[in-house]
Structure 1
Amino acid sequence: MRALRILLILVVILGGLFTAADRAAVYFVEGEIADRVKSSQGLSSTPEVSIKGFPFLTQVLATSLDEVDISLDGVSASADGHAVQVTEVKAELRDVKFNSSFSAATAARATGSARISYADLAKSAPKGSTIGYAGAERAAKGQVKLTGRLADVLEGAGVSVPDPVKALLGDKTASAYSTVSLVNGDTVRLRSADLPTVPIPGLEDQIRDAVDYDLKIDGLPSTIKLDQVTATEDGLRFSGAGTNVSLAG
């Protein structure tokens, strides 16, 4: 009986040592992957890497990881010199296979996501305007609502508004609706879908020029493939999925 107790104690101790070694290896490799992703893709900040699954060491021996999650801060987008913060940038990699030298890897499946709040998105809009949720019906069409004092929006977009026109417009506040799309996986495109009626001929084209623009997202890792955008109550949410995604070494 005493021998059995000793054996059980040894099993517990060895199991604990194995678990500790396994977790230590995970933390080390997570840091190595994070540093490698940052350097190979020229990121401005170090991503957070989380390797799932236990035990980890047996996965390494098989040169295959079940799940690797990457999250990143410090990603921004820009339009005409205006910087916009991109938040909740994530990549979820599944069935990641390494080559024999661990210098390259391929994820059988990968999903990516990111978000831009309306408050941040408004920083890219013409000065004097705000961007917000357009309601369920228009959001289903991928549209957002841009609101502002008409004269301020035009001047904020660099359109010269003569004093007589300003007087005619007065404090008129108008709303425009723009359809949002994603181009080439890194460019948010806003194009007017519904413009306000204005009393001055030709002014509608200038309003359209003011509210139509592209927003380029900088600093996304190549593992994050975005191809869809959804207008939600708390901002624009981006998502995408891919198969056999190559990870830079």
Structure 2
Amino acid sequence: MRRLAVILLVLAVVLVVGGAVADRVVHARVEEELAAQVRERVDVEGGPEVVVDGFPFLTQVLAGTLAEVRIAGDRVVVDGVTLDDVQVTARDVTTAEPYAAGSVELNATLPVESLRSAVASADPGLSLAVDDGELTLGLDVLGLDVAVGVVPVAAGTAVTLELTGVSLGGAEVSADDLPAAVTDLLGEWRLEVPGLPQGLELTRVDVIEDGLRVRAAGRDVDLAGLGAG
């Protein structure tokens, strides 16, 4: 009887250890497959790094929902727009099609180069400067340098600009004195953040040294649209 108890104990240990090893093997393969799928959808530099949280992993797979999936990439190019330091956290992710998540949060940086390109495409005569946490649009009006202070605003899936002040030749002037073409341009200018699926909208935009740090969040998000510019 004692020998039987020892044998059963050894078998139990083998099953537990073997199960844990199998769990980790499947876990690693799923993370590799998710990373490969991300690379197929977008141009990624520096990764992507994919982490699936939760242990044991196999029970999550059998239940059909992953507790949390985190994806990070140094630089991502979507629909011709560059995003830096991209971090995506998705929770309650389904493991079968149609893939969806109970909640998603995305943080990324729109670099200065992307902003300047968007401004120039709207009006080749405009320039953009980022200085000490502030955005300034520069233009020439009848030979005088006009500096227009603006702040970025989260507007659904896009960033818009809100006028804060105007300097004409170094002197502060009223925004009412700006040419109508300039004020109309500010009212119409939008920079769409690419790759946001249905259900995800911008919640915050901050000016940083390297550009704009944007945050988007949403619930019941269709992951099929993530990264599809």
The question of a shared fold, defined as TM-score above 0.5 by the shorter chain, is answered with yes
Deviation at 1:25, TM superposition (A): 0.7
Paired with 1:47 and 1:177, the residues of 2 have a C-alpha distance of 36
Q: 2:103 aligns with which of 109, 117, 125?
A: 109
Cross-structure match for 1:131:
129
Quick one: which amino acid aligns to residue 220 of structure 2?
A: N
Q: 1:59 to 1:23 in 2, by over 3 A?
A: same
Deviation at 1:3, TM superposition (A): 8.6
Cross-structure match for 2:165:
194
Quick one: which amino acid aligns to residue 82 of structure 2?
A: Q
Kept in 2: contact 1:118–1:236 (CA 8 A): yes
Q: 1:9 to 1:84 in 2, by over 3 A?
A: same
1:86 maps onto 2:60 in alignment: no
Q: How many residues get paired?
A: 209
Equivalent residues in 2 for 1:132-151, closer than 5 Å: 132-133=130-131, 144-146=134-136
Deviation at 1:222, TM superposition (A): 1.9
Q: 1:36 to 1:50 in 2, by over 3 A?
A: same
- SS of corresponding position for 1:222: coil
Kept in 2: contact 1:178–1:191 (CA 8 A): yes
Q: 1:196 to 1:203 in 2, by over 3 A?
A: same
Paired with 2:215 and 2:9, the residues of 1 have a C-alpha distance of 49
> What is the aligned-residue identity percentage?
28
Q: 1:194 to 1:207 in 2, by over 3 A?
A: farther
Q: 1:34 to 1:84 in 2, by over 3 A?
A: closer
Q: 1:93 to 1:64 in 2, by over 3 A?
A: same
Deviation at 1:61, TM superposition (A): 1.3
Cross-structure match for 1:228:
203
Quick one: which amino acid aligns to residue 183 of structure 1?
A: A
* Structure 2: 5+ residue stretches without partners: none
Cross-structure match for 1:183:
155
Q: 1:17 to 1:193 in 2, by over 3 A?
A: same
Kept in 2: contact 1:66–1:95 (CA 8 A): yes
Deviation at 1:104, TM superposition (A): 2.3
1:244 maps onto 2:215 in alignment: no
Range moving further from structure 2, 229-238 or 176-185 = 229-238
Paired with 2:86 and 2:20, the residues of 1 have a C-alpha distance of 31
TM-score, normalised on structure 2? Answer: 0.68
- SS of corresponding position for 2:55: coil
Paired with 2:184 and 2:219, the residues of 1 have a C-alpha distance of 39
Paired with 1:247 and 1:84, the residues of 2 have a C-alpha distance of 20
Quick one: which amino acid aligns to residue 76 of structure 2?
A: G
- Which structure has greater strand proportion? 2
1:50 maps onto 2:51 in alignment: yes
Deviation at 1:93, TM superposition (A): 1.4
Q: 1:37 to 1:248 in 2, by over 3 A?
A: farther
Paired with 1:196 and 1:110, the residues of 2 have a C-alpha distance of 41
Higher relative contact order (CA 8 A, sep 6+): 1
* Structure 1: 5+ residue stretches without partners: 78-82, 136-143, 155-160
Q: Over aligned residues, Cα RMSD in angstroms?
A: 4.0
Paired with 1:226 and 1:177, the residues of 2 have a C-alpha distance of 25
Cross-structure match for 2:69:
68
